[in-house]
Amino acid sequence: MKLVSIPILSAIIFTSSFVLCKSNEDASAAKTKTQDDSPIKAADATNVLSNGRDIPLIGMGIGNLPSDRIDEVVSFNLQLGSRLVDTARASRNESMLSKAIDKYFEGTADKKDGSEDNVVHVVTKVWYTHLGYERTKIAVGESLRDLTMNQNVDTRVHILLHWPRCDDNIAWMNCEKEERRLPKYVQEAGPPPHLNKDTAWQDSWKALEDLYAEDRNNREANMGRRPIIESIGISNFDWNDMVSLLDICRIKPLIYQGNVWKVFHDPRMMNLLNENNILFQAYNIMNGVHHRKSSAPNAFAVLSRIAAHLSKTRQELHDDQRLETKVTEGMVIMAWLVQQGISVVPRALSNTHQVENSPSSIISLPRMSSEEIETVKNAMSALMKGEDVKVKAVFHNEFMRSIQLHWMNQVTGEEVPVTDQVLPGVTLTIDSHPGHTFVAYCSMKKLRKEYEVTAEYGNSDHFFIHGEL
């Protein structure tokens, strides 16, 4: 089996000629390896898309945000340094967003033309009722109209197809009802997409390609007149739709927006996106991971432990400053994603959470070590699945004879067999907990040794059993 080596406390126990060793195989490597505790750099929080254009990795989501809070939330996030906003045509707040951005820049000194401070990226999406070539062009035109701002703001719009189709098997989708509610000019622009589910999105992609190419060819002429289409992409496409899209497209999607679940449980899709240099932008981060702590408390405790360590390290790096924002589990989650080159667009209403989610907070965190990256990955995966993490107690029988393993009840002293025997050369992995005690026997129980699991949740303890009788 493949083993992951994680540095742990060394404990070597000798008894007669029977030896139980707790692995210290990474000790020498740990002495020579230098930990990069420097914070994530601002440049690391920016991605260069496959078209050569930059996009921030850290932004804010305002989809389905109460309309009476949009002005306040947008203004506060812009003040915190956020320059990426995620919304959708279906959220019906694009015009409110543009007014809030205009209002913010009108009230600040950051009005210099050409200033990067005045560049705002907006991700918006075409709803599935507007799939089809002409319907998509209408939707994009209306989004660009509503996102038009004054000339003090350099607005760069990233347009995605929100869904590849309407699916009546999804409880909240009602294809025919939504079709009947459309304005007549949209209905007359093209056939109902729910009657042509396999190809309507393909026609929409052709429309996005044409609009994007037209904008690139007339970029200078369009600047100042309306927002620039900076990139095109998709959202919520499954494997088969993605393969089909890559097969027919003239221009590859530059952004894929999907549930954070895919990062951990859909490696085939993630590999496909990486191979085609498509940026993954994650949503449902807090609901999908952070808010599931009751289903996997040990995994959440792992994030708390990492947060405490990063907080301490960050304070040491800034010992001349008093840092107001405590490193939280949510910040650890987002820093982990950003460190993997994944974009995050969390939605938050409270000022406290908006500060925690801000680019300045995330880039202030020290980089996680390779061990911390693996530990956080396992904890996040466990939280999403609702399957809690444990300690992996890994026994390597390097003894010339079989051994027996027992778990010992520390209250009663009772020893419960874990397995009949572990043959020479065999490795056995047991899910355990910190503080658990095991007993190893060999040679008809003539040789016995107790040992304790000291690794923390999400980590592993390796025990090498060897010796001669």
Distance CA 306, CA 56 (A): 25
Tokens in use for 142? 């209306």
Nearest to 87 by CA among 139, 143, 35, 128: 143
Please classify residue 303 by burial: count the beta carbons closer than 10 Å to its beta carbon, then call 0-12 exposed, 13-18 middle and 19+ buried. buried
Tokens of 130: 């507007």
Q: pLDDT tens, position by position, for the chain (469 residues)?
A: 333 332 322 222 222 333 344 443 333 333 323 345 666 665 578 999 999 999 999 999 999 899 999 999 999 999 999 999 999 999 999 999 999 999 999 876 555 455 567 899 999 999 999 999 999 999 999 999 999 987 788 999 999 999 999 998 899 999 999 999 999 999 999 999 999 999 999 999 999 999 999 988 876 655 656 798 999 999 999 999 999 999 999 999 999 999 999 999 999 999 999 999 999 999 999 887 878 888 899 999 999 999 999 998 888 877 656 556 689 999 999 999 999 999 999 999 999 999 999 999 999 899 999 989 999 999 999 999 888 888 889 988 888 888 888 899 888 889 999 888 888 889 999 988 888 999 888 866 778 888 789 888 888 889 888 764 3
Does the global pTM surpass 0.75?
A: yes
- HEC profile for 117-154? HHEEEEEEEECHHHCCHHHHHHHHHHHHHHCCCCCCCE
Give 213: exposed, middle or buried? Use CB within 10 Å, 0-12, 13-18, 19+: middle
Pull the structure tokens for residue 158.
């990233």
Identify the three-state secondary structure at position 45: helix
CA dist 98 and 293 (Å) reads 36
The residues with which 123 forms a beta bridge, in sequence order, are 86, 158
Cβ contacts of residue 306 below 8 Å, gap of 6+?
332, 368, 372, 375, 376
Q: CB burial class (10 A; 0-12, 13-18, 19+) of residue 3?
A: middle
Sign of CA dihedral 300, 301, 304, 309: negative
Output the pLDDT for position 291. 80
Q: Which residues pair with 437 in a beta bridge?
A: 408, 452
User: What one-character DSSP code corresponds to residue 356?
Assistant: H
Q: Cα 374 to chain center, whole Å?
A: 14
Query: Between the CA of residue 56 and those of 48, 116, 198, what are the distances in Å?
Result: 9, 12, 33
> For residues 408 and 437, is the Cβ–Cβ distance under 8 A?
yes
408's tokens? 């010992």
Q: Angle CA(363)–CA(366)–CA(25) in degrees, nearest 5?
A: 145
Q: Please state, in angstroms and as integers, the Cα–Cα distance from residue 122 to each residue in 68, 82, 196, 317, 426, following that order.
A: 20, 11, 30, 34, 55
Cα Rg of the chain, angstroms: 27
What is the DSSP secondary structure assignment for residue 58, as one 8-state letter? B
**Residue 464 token pair:** 């090498």
DSSP-derived 3-state class of residue 289: coil
The four Cα atoms 431, 434, 437, 441 give a dihedral, to 10 degrees, of 50
User: What token pair was written down for 47?
Assistant: 């991605």
The pLDDT, as a whole number, for residue 11 is 29
